């Protein structure tokens, strides 16, 4: 299976990164929640489940928007 390209997170306004926090990983603004962790959870959970069970400090809308951006960006760069 081919690896999907990483979305250009610099184009998404609700994420940030700096070298002093989470080893420079992209994270949701104002949190210590890694974007990659939310996306990994989205493989087998709905945005509602992620917001309720995994990251209760996030709203469903925020999770849905992040996952939607990733899906759209990945789809735009996939062949075919």
Distance CA 13, CA 2 (A): 28
Any domain includes 63: yes
Quick: pLDDT tens for 17-33. 999 999 999 999 999 99
Within-domain flag for 44: yes
65 lies in which domain range?
9-76
Would residue 18 count as lying in a domain?
yes
What tokens appear for 28 in the block?
Answer: 């949701």
For residue 4, being part of any structural domain is answered with no
CB 44 within 8 A of CB 31: no
- Asked if residue 1 is part of any domain, the answer here is no
> Are the CB atoms for 27 and 17 separated by under 8 Å?
yes
CATH number at residue 56: 1.10.10.10
Residues 1, 68 contacting (CB under 8 angstroms): no
Q: pTM of the full predicted structure?
A: 0.86
* pLDDT per position as a tens digit, 4-60: 678 999 999 999 999 999 999 999 999 999 999 999 999 999 999 999 999 999 999
Number of domains in the chain: 1
Task: Answer whether residue 77 shows pLDDT above 70.
Answer: no
């Amino acid at each position: 299976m081919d690896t999907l390209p990483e979305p250009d997170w610099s184009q998404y306004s609700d994420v940030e990164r700096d070298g002093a926090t989470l080893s420079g990983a992209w994270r949701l603004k104002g949190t210590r929640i890694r974007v990659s962790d939310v996306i990994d959870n989205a493989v087998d959970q709905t945005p509602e489940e992620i917001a309720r069970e995994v990251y209760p400090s996030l709203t469903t809308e925020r999770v849905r928007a992040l996952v939607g951006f990733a899906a759209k960006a990945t789809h735009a760069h996939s062949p075919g």
